[in-house]
Structure 1
Amino acid sequence: MSLIQAENLTKVYGTGDTAVTALNHIKLNVNPGEFVAVMGPSGCGKSTLLHLLGGLDRPTEGSVSIDGQPLAKMSDNDVTKLRRRKIGFVFQFFNLIPILSSVENAALPLLLDGISSAKAKDKAKEWLTKVGLGERMSNRPDQLSAGQQQRVAIARALITDPVLVLADEPTGNLDTKSADEIAGLLRQVAKNWGRSVLMVTHDPRIAAHADRIVFLKDGSIVNETQLESKLTDNAESVIQMMKANA
């Protein structure tokens, strides 16, 4: 069974003459351990799609199921619980608390869920080591590079053992080298650690790390491409797809 099942997903903002359709009858399935990149021009509905899949907003029409659980049948409180325990979020801006160390920032979701400080920090250390920050656990955000801060944010997203990671332009604030490293780490999240990853990006080089590209335009999926070749060939394939759907 697909981990994400979205059927007829539609989101309309406003009513009457001022209504704007952000998403128009989207159908999307994402399998366990699959890394999917969502691309498209500004205003095409990429972030709206992530918000609906993550339970941050409700669709106007259609349905979303996460790990077999239909969000429409759940109360807001139950959706919040599912989001906190089954979905990890990674954003363009790292949203780390400046006065906290890497361990303390990564441990926050468990602390908010009532887990003891000792257990939360032990698990934070485990994930920080996995994402390559074993030597930076005591550093505050201002003592870390941008790429290292995003690694802390990824560890924080993974600490609750989510089945799904939603990443919204996770490399948007990074230099080329760090962006490639973070894209590779997100692929590792899917392939080595078995999470489904859905990533919004505008960068064809970053999208080339994914298994599949979903291209949105005017709120609709206009192209889907499975990537199977070498990374450099994938990047060229993504560029050609972008040109074809411009």
Structure 2
Amino acid sequence: MSTVEITRAACALSSTIKHLSCNRRFHRKRTFIPHNFSDFRRPGRIRTFTVCMSSASNPLEVCVKASVSTPNKLGDCPFCQRVLMTLEEKYLPYDVKLVDLTDKPEWFLKINPEGKVPVIKLDGKWVADSDIITQSLEEKYPNPPLLTPPEKASVGSKVLPAFIGFLKSKDPSDGTEQALLNELSFLNDYIKENGPFVNGKEVSAADLSLSPKLHHMEIALSHYKNWSVPDSLPYLKTYMKSMFLRDSFVKTCAAREDVVTGWRPKVFA
């Protein structure tokens, strides 16, 4: 059995265990959780639903970007996905409010005048910025732990700007592709020596930040540049597949068409 097949099998088993465990909680609490966001058909441009994954009594309110292509779906914000993945990995209950960023409602602008997502309500106060949100969640809900050691926290942090630089480039010889390859090669070598995840055997906050960005990179560069991660980086490719198969990633992942649409302004700027 190949490494990828083993990874897929392990992820599938993990997802099954989580699903069965959560189902027991749901049955006891008589809570209905949809398999997808389209199960909710409420009027208006803000869609609210509850995802309950723990015995905590008060779901956390979190505002995230709404899909521009499909009603009642999550939008294409990797920073929102990072926060939602953190909530999923910590089995915390949460209420999602999908916000149409092209027509922001007044109540949302009162919460965050800058009009940016994600925003989450913690201890009665609205907190913005995915870095601050995930750090606050780790401090308030330390188990299961997702903290990445400081010396590893910045692993892969240069991938996003390198990806954007290459995506925006109009000159094939300007070095932006090579700059991205350099960052991906570093990440590949790091995973080879320290993996399978950034912090070793267990998923940590660094993986939840990095994986949505890698997913956006994969989709956008495939669509606009006909480019993909080269086979010469096998450890990185296995890492990406492993993260993209995690239950927390699948549940919080934006539709491909939203990712493509979201990056279009960068390409044609």
TM-score of the two chains, using structure 1 as the length reference: 0.31
Larger fraction in strand: 1
Larger fraction in helix: 2
TM-score of the two chains, using structure 2 as the length reference: 0.29
